[in-house]
Amino acid sequence: MGKIVLKVGDDVSTDIIYPGRFMATVLPTETPQYTFADETEFNKKLNAGEIPQGSFIVAGENFGCGSSREQAASCLKGWELVIVAKHFARIFLQNAINLGLQMVICPDIEAEEGDELQIEGEVLKNLTSGKEFKIVPLPPARQAIIDAGGLVAYTRARLLAGK
Amino acid sequence: MGMTYVQKILARACGKESVEVGDVVEPKVHLAMSHENGAMAMNQFVEIYKGTDLEAKVWDPDRIAIIFDHRIPAESAKTATNQKKLRDFVVNQKISKFHDIRGDEGGICHQILPEYGYVRPGYVVVGTDSHTTSHGALGAFAFGIGATEMAAVWTLGHVLNVEVPATIKVDVNGKLAEYVGPKDLILYLIGKITAEGANFRVLEYHGDTFKNMSTSGRLVVCNMSVEAGATSGIVPADDETLRYLKQEAGVSDKLELFGPDDDAVYEQVIEIDASTLAPQIACPHMVDNIKTVDEVAGTKIDQIVIGSCTNGRLDDLEAAARILKGKKIARTTRMLVFPASWRIYREALKRGYLNDLSEAGAVVCNPGCGACLGVHQGALGDNEVALATTNRNFKGRMGNPKAEVYLCSPDVAAASAVTGTITDPRAGGR
């Protein structure tokens, strides 16, 4: 269970999630400070420690479009935020899976900032409005990476198994 | 059942007779490209080997390319340190396709790869850059991946868990009008199908407009295919591909050509009459917010950018020089030019294009990504407006969320430089 701490619209690009001018920062311990850097109020709250882990960001269509920069997934993972979107852009989705960022594909989501959400299997519940929405499951092949604990662990296992 | 071009490439790369849309495959990688963000891949590569007792060695140092382009010369100590670490990595891992900050062989990755013949028809190419789609111009299945995924490729030599994508056939016929080019065609297509219209799909380009288009133009269209959400854009390799690879890239080995099956199954077919297209403009802050040039003509512009992996090639600089030769850039605006590679820079210098642009008032910068991604070399001030031949206009893209970016062709950019406002090259450019 967690609260929606940010609601954004369609086509939120990786330039918004993690502006290009911070791309020289690559360590997962350092990327979180620049999360939504140009959405200054939200960024300030994150850095002040006012947003608990497991909080939700709710987005419209095509979240994470644009650049392949992995920092966009890495920074959100650093705060352990959960991203709900109607659907995600391809490279961002893949990066998020690879890093173990929790994502929920929910085409029918109706929710406002401040609402409490809860994931129950293949259903996303809006506890504030009482409404429930179906979650689109990730393809099974992607689930294997999540189950392994991310792509680093998955690749290591493949390496040790002789590819 | 027939296969699309990408299905055939994937089947070959997997050693299979055929693959079907939706199949999960692990294709062999022919070329894996990174730029400065290779620093992130390098960290993850080390992480993969941690605790294994195995020596961390890339699967094939001749199939890895590292090209510095995003922030050259380094804009900060942090970038310089990342570049230094990557140089050490290149030496230790014996990576052969490395392009440093050099005036002889440097440039933007999406120009260097074709220019040096690193990409061949039928290849599977991955890159830690979303515009890796560019290399579909040479008949390769080329797509962007993240840094961790690149670390996995460096380790294993194949991409894990690729779902065979569905393909949209784009059939374009007719001759493009004067002052209308490949950039206008791709902007028009993105406007038509939207920024997510080809999400998780391949755009396969056909028709006489593509048959008659140079590799340079095909690179523009495939480069921006990702702006429609496409995994990849691809033009079936043909005689022009062979000409380019032999004459311009100096490739001497035998190249094999194959195309999609005649009875390939496409999810959708889009037909476009290229002869009717006007110059197109992508308006702030989305690449699919497309208008024709006359709809936004007169918009005041503070900074014009010509260059990038989309439109920094010789024909682009030629188009701009043709319009600006003997003219002056309006005092109310400024123009930055970023050739896509040093080879292009030198050729444009020899042919006088850079002289024409400089005499008109343009600042010719060193080849590289430059202003496109808002790191250095041309950030925008508050409430400023840019007109650029680059590929993205998202909010904040050129380093300032309070600025606006319009995207256009080199012809529109050059014609607009003369007036300081968005100008139709067909009217004011002559």
| Full DSSP string of B153-219 | HHHHSB-SSEEPPEEEEEEEESPPPTT--HHHHHHHHHHHH-TTTTTTEEEEEESHHHHTS-HHHHH
Contacts of A118 (CB under 8 A, 6+ apart): A1, A2, A124, A125, A127
Domain housing A54: 2-160
Kindly tell me if the per-residue pLDDT of B202 is higher than 80. Answer: yes
Domain boundaries, chain B: 5-272, 280-428
Round to whole Å and give the CA distance between B39 and B148: 11
Beta bridge partners of B172: B272
Which of A155, A156, A158 is the mutation pick for testing B, counting most B CBs within 10 A?
A155
Q: Look at residues B122, B130, B134, B204 and name the one whose alpha carbon lies nearest to residue B166.
A: B204
Kindly tell me if the per-residue pLDDT of B124 is higher than 60. Answer: yes
Round to whole Å and give the CA distance between B174 and A150: 48
Kindly tell me if the per-residue pLDDT of B195 is higher than 80. Answer: yes
pLDDT in tens, B294-304: 999 999 999 99
Kindly tell me if the per-residue pLDDT of B428 is higher than 80. Answer: no
CATH code that applies to domain B5-272: 3.30.499.10
User: Which of B39, B44, B394 is the closest to A152 by Cβ?
Assistant: B44
- The answer to whether A25 contacts B152, with C-beta atoms less than 8 Å apart, is no
Please, which pLDDT band fits residue B429 given cuts at 50, 70 and 90?
very low
For residue A70, give the DSSP letter.
Answer: T
Kindly report which listed range (B51-55, B102-106, B132-136) carries the lowest average pLDDT score: B51-55
CA distance A96 to chain B (A): 9
Contacts of B292 (CB under 8 A, 6+ apart): B278, B279, B280, B281
Percent of chain B topping pLDDT 70: 99
Work out how many CB contacts closer than 8 A connect A with B.
152
User: Which of B132, B152, B374 is the closest to A21 by Cβ?
Assistant: B374
Residues in chain B with CB shorter than 8 Å from the CB of A16 are 394-396
Pick the residue from chain B with its C-alpha nearest to A162: B156
pLDDT in tens, B157-189: 999 989 999 999 999 999 999 999 999 999 999
Amino acid A163: pLDDT: 61
φ/ψ of B166, rounded to 5, equals: -70, 155
- The answer to whether B52 contacts A156, with C-beta atoms less than 8 Å apart, is yes
CATH number of domain containing A154: 3.20.19.10
pLDDT in tens, B85-104: 999 999 999 999 999 999 99
φ/ψ of B370, rounded to 5, equals: 50, -130
CATH superfamily of domain region B280-428: Aconitase, domain 3 (3.30.499.10)
Segment B402-418 shows an average pLDDT of 98
Amino acid B360: pLDDT: 98
Amino acid B10: pLDDT: 98
CA distance B79 to chain A (A): 5
Amino acid A138: pLDDT: 87
Residues in chain B with CB shorter than 8 Å from the CB of A107 are none
pLDDT in tens, A13-67: 999 999 999 999 999 999 999 999 999 999 999 999 999 999 999 999 999 999 9
Segment B57-65 shows an average pLDDT of 98
Kind and range of the H or E element at A142? helix A140-148
- The A residues from 53 to 92 touching B (CB cutoff 8 Å) are 61-62, 65-71, 73, 87, 89-91
**What average pLDDT is seen over chain A?**
95
Structure tokens at B14: 């997997």
**What average pLDDT is seen over chain B?**
97
pTM here? Answer: 0.96
A161 and B CB contact within 8 Å: no
Q: Cα–Cα–Cα angle for B139, B141, B147, nearest 5°? A: 140
Question: Is the peptide bond prior to A28 cis by the omega test (within 30 degrees of 0)?
Answer: no
Please, which pLDDT band fits residue B430 given cuts at 50, 70 and 90?
very low
Segment B351-364 shows an average pLDDT of 98
- The answer to whether A26 contacts B49, with C-beta atoms less than 8 Å apart, is no
pLDDT in tens, A91-146: 999 999 999 999 999 999 999 999 999 999 999 999 999 999 999 998 777 888 99
Cβ neighbour number for residue A98 with a 10 Å cutoff: 29
C-alpha dist (Å) from residue B339 to B11, B325, B350: 37, 17, 14
A20 and B CB contact within 8 Å: yes
Beta bridge partners of B305: B336, B388
- The A residues from 35 to 54 touching B (CB cutoff 8 Å) are 38
Kindly tell me if the per-residue pLDDT of B150 is higher than 90. Answer: yes
Contacts of A48 (CB under 8 A, 6+ apart): none
Number of domains in chain A: 1
**Tokens 């407009």 -> residue:** B209
CA distance A118 to chain B (A): 28
CA B400 to chain centre: 23
